[in-house]
Amino acid sequence: MDFGKILTAMVTPMKDNSDVDFEEAGRLAKYLAEHGSDGIVVAGTTGESPTLSTDEKLELFRVVKEAVGKDVIVIAGIGSNSTANSVALAQKAAKTGVDGLMAVVPYYNKPSQEGLYQHFRVIAEASELPLMLYNIPGRTSINLLPETVLRLSKVPNIVALKEAVGMMDQVSELKRILPEDFMVYSGDDSLTLPMLALGCSGIISVASHVVGDEMKKMVDAWFEGDTKKALQWHLKLMPIFKGIFITANPVPVKYLVNTLGIKAGKVRLPLVDANPEEKEFLTNLLKRVKEG
């Protein structure tokens, strides 16, 4: 399965009382599909997965897939630091109509590379859906090494990796040793173009919530061979790629989504909303990028 080139790690809209706003989630998913996204990742870190219940996640999977239909890939975030819980959620998610699953490296436990291999293997074998691995050492404290990804690539339905390690040498090694059809996606907006240059498949983006059309122009230019144009877009978008992480994700992007007229709402504790200074910075940043 081809997951596409731009996938958005979607925020989870919340009502004023912090309940999930499922109706608005469907509306946001449609908006993203109309503004550059080939696919949507639901209940990932940007979707505040640590504070979502299993029932909330499953309903989000159903609602988002129903909203975007067959033309847009929906990937369900099912990973946790409990293999058993991840397996159970994978099995339930497979019944909601989603197209694939994503599982993050277990956080806090600090497993060995063998432990990581066994964790992901067991999750993959719990469902027939294609599985994407997610490596983000800055949040998990463990780096999923290229050699372990190579082992996992031999599990039939492990087909992709979201790589947010931030080291191009590691990305180069991944592309050197992995099968050509194994998809590697950037997990950092600012590294989209550098990773495309290394032969990666695309980006799992946060910024695409607000500059999805512009990112599509950048990515399309790259794949059409217009590297100069792709670079111009990369440089133009760099301020927003970096600026939307002025405080903990997804606080900034959720604020900006609200400014678009989509009711993303607030974040759940322990996260708190952007302060007035951050809001002013973000508003001006998006305005400059859109007008510049």
Two tokens at 182? 């194994």
Contacts of 3 by beta carbon, 8 Å cutoff, 6+ apart: 38, 39, 73, 75, 100, 130, 132, 160, 183, 185, 201, 202
Residues taking part in catalysis: 134, 162
